[in-house]
Amino acid sequence: MEEKKPLKIVYLFHSGFLVETERHLLIFDYYREAAGSKASTSAKAGELPEFLQTDKQVYIFASHRHADHYNPGILEWGKIKPDLTYILSNDIKPRWQGERIHLVAPGAERGIDSLYLKVLGSTDQGVSFLVEIEGWHLFHAGDLNWWYWEDDSETELLAAERSFKHEISKLEGEALDLAFFPVDPRLGAYYHLGGAYLIQQLQPNHFIPMHFGTDVQITKSFAQQIKAPTTRVITIDQSPQTFLIKN
């Protein structure tokens, strides 16, 4: 088997990432470029950010319409760079539509140019994405998580657990190279449950925490708490931050 070319990963902020392959650029859940920037930085201004000044094929994903995952201004980029491809959860209602805008729902499965996509559900709103590109298998969870809120009733907690585990079961048998997954500090002592379960069940080669706002320390806490011999947990120190992922 031919060795895959390394991935360049740029953590933007919260759940936002750039994934650069040899021939493609994938952008997940962009709403601001860095922790200190405003949500409207380049998207709303209708200017192309530096990372879009590329000859590579670009795919822009948004898992749902929550303001910390979707900046409507990303559609303005397509007016300047018409060859951009958008893959948006169907709870998002874009101001304009075209052949390069794909609205997707859980259960969708399709090839889009050189990319193969499977769309899973969420335990909050919208969808999660399983993407195959240039031999890499990537999973971006969006707001899919084991949402264990201490104030919830036992019935609600059990329903949340069942819903989460059911969704994760749809990924069994997938050889995941990389999973982007929430470690939300608002869950307190239970922030790790979803990520720990995903690693236990799916054993991705690499796990990148997300959905923690400015609390980068929680990525280190997770890495210390979860010891998995088959999974490398990547910690984050700052926003933005660049990583190189090798086969």
2 occurs within a structural domain: no
Task: Spell out, as residue ranges, where the chain has pLDDT lower than 50.
Answer: 1, 40
* H helices present in 89-179, as ranges: 154-169
Instruction: Look up the CATH number of the domain holding residue 186.
Output: 3.60.15.10
Q: Which residue has the tokens 């990963």?
A: 9
38 occurs within a structural domain: yes
Q: What is the pLDDT of residue 90?
A: 97
190 occurs within a structural domain: yes
49 occurs within a structural domain: yes
Q: Please calculate the CA angle 127-203-130 and round it to the nearest 5 degrees.
A: 25
22 occurs within a structural domain: yes
Q: What is the pLDDT of residue 140?
A: 99
Q: What is the pLDDT of residue 63?
A: 97
Q: How many domains does the chain have?
A: 1
For the entire predicted model, the pTM comes to 0.94
Q: From residue 210, give the alpha-carbon distance in Å to each of 43, 49, 51, 135, 225.
A: 21, 22, 20, 23, 16
Q: What is the pLDDT of residue 45?
A: 58
53 occurs within a structural domain: yes
Q: How far apart are CA 104 and CA 29, in angstroms?
A: 15
20 occurs within a structural domain: yes
Q: What is the pLDDT of residue 4?
A: 87
Chain segment 88-111, per-residue pLDDT in tens: 999 999 887 888 999 999 999 999
132 occurs within a structural domain: yes
CB-based burial, 106-115: b 16+ in 10 Å, e otherwise: beeeeebeeb
Domain range for 56 is 7-245
Chain segment 206-223, per-residue pLDDT in tens: 999 999 999 999 999 999
Q: What is the pLDDT of residue 35?
A: 67
Q: What is the pLDDT of residue 36?
A: 65
Give the Cβ contact number of residue 220 at 10 Å. 14
